[in-house]
Amino acid sequence: MNRRTFIEKSAKASSLSLISLSELQQSVNHKINDQNLKKNKFDVIVLGVGSMGSSTCYQLAKRGYKVLGLEQFNLPHDKGSHSGQSRIIRKAYFEHPNYVPLLEKAYKNWDILQNESGHKIYHKTGLLYFGKSSSDLLNSVQSSSELYGIPLKKVKNTEISSKYKQFNIPDNFKSLFEPDAGFLTPERAILTHVELALKKGASIHLNEKVIDWSQKDGIIEVKTEKEKYFSKKIIITTGAWSKEIVPNLKPRIVTTQQLISWVIPKKWDDFTLGKFPCWTIEDEESKGLFYGFPILESGQFGAPIGLKIAHHYPGKEVNPNKAERDIDKNDEEILTTFLKKFIPNGYSKNHVMKTCLYSNSPDSDFIIDFLDVNKNIIVGSGFSGHGFKFSSVIGEILSDLAINGNTLLPIDFLRLDRFES
């Protein structure tokens, strides 16, 4: 890269907006209220305008299709799977290397979204992985890295104790660092997708719950609490509510409640953005993985201030329509015990506890497929707590399926028929 190109790219990156989340929300709501819907007929109706639905509405509108997005809540909201200020994005995928080509495209799409909107959504912090030498996590990360040439660095224990002194890592643990990983801001990403979709002619209806839908003679009818709408295609991205919208998915989806915690650290400055990376730790004494983020400014990122930590392991099964979600004291104790053990200066007291939802598939892989032989009904579901980073490319995939009946992106391993064998 020559010096001029570097300067131009640096100038573009520095110009990305970090307006407050409330200002972005007001802008989106203003555009929605200005809509004047004269007809109820559309090319495609998208049910659910969260992580995947907002991206899908944007992709369809960008290609010139008349699209309606129906969302039962306001935007953004904390009742589903996409709230919580930050989501990790990484390429050396330990879940399965099949996801890496999709991640490559997701990274490109996030960059396009930032450049088109002027809003900063992706923050490169790097990601530290910790676990024993026998750790499935680390071995799978290394395997994906080697298969696809993803930059990954082995970190010596001496470097942990000097450069990453916030961590208290046992001598028998191994450490890896993925420099191009970081975090995305989910609420900002969803609002940005919606903002651009509206600019390109999409209709987005908030606080409008879908009661029923049906298909007859090639026409899909969607009935809400307020109105009836008609389309040629329907895309279902309703997350934890997928089982209600598509009863056939009931055996395939288990909805669980997950605890997200913001704590006050003992040494605040050591954990701020720019000084502290994203991280994940596999501890054999506990099930699943623990992960966390640097401290972010709440005004810019729209969530409580503090050091964020979460546990990636399916929690208790819940009904998403339940109004109150009680914080499980046992889950809270698991998080605080973990912090005291591995990041001792990262915890002095609990600050805010929130919950989000996982929509878990039987094998924890996504479900992306048609639900009918005519390819008019498409579903994106079962993202199992690791889907948000893909949302920029999932919208493209779902749009491809609606428009073309297929996609060039590799999603065969996510088809529904895998459960039939």
pLDDT at 328: 80
| DSSP-derived 3-state class of residue 266 | coil
Average of per-residue pLDDT across 286-294? 92
What pLDDT, in 10s, does the model give residues 97-125?
Answer: 999 999 999 999 999 999 999 999 999 99
Q: How far apart are CA 290 and CA 260, in angstroms?
A: 11
Q: Is 223 helix (H, G, I), strand (E, B) or coil?
A: strand
pTM over 0.85: yes
Report the pLDDT value the prediction gives residue 300, as an integer from 0 to 100. Answer: 62
Place of tokens 């009863």: 247
pLDDT score at 9: 52
**Alpha helix (H) residue ranges in 286-416:** 298-301, 329-342, 391-404
The domains located in the chain, with CATH, are 19-83+187-250+364-419 (3.50.50.60), 124-181+253-360 (3.30.9.10)
Percent of the chain with pLDDT over 70: 93
Least confident interval from 262-276, 318-332, 345-359 = 318-332
Residue 7 clears pLDDT 70, i.e. is over it: no
What is the per-residue pLDDT for 286? 81
**pLDDT bracket for residue 24 (50, 70, 90):** confident
Q: How far apart are CA 86 and CA 82, in angstroms?
A: 9
- pLDDT of res. 38: 46
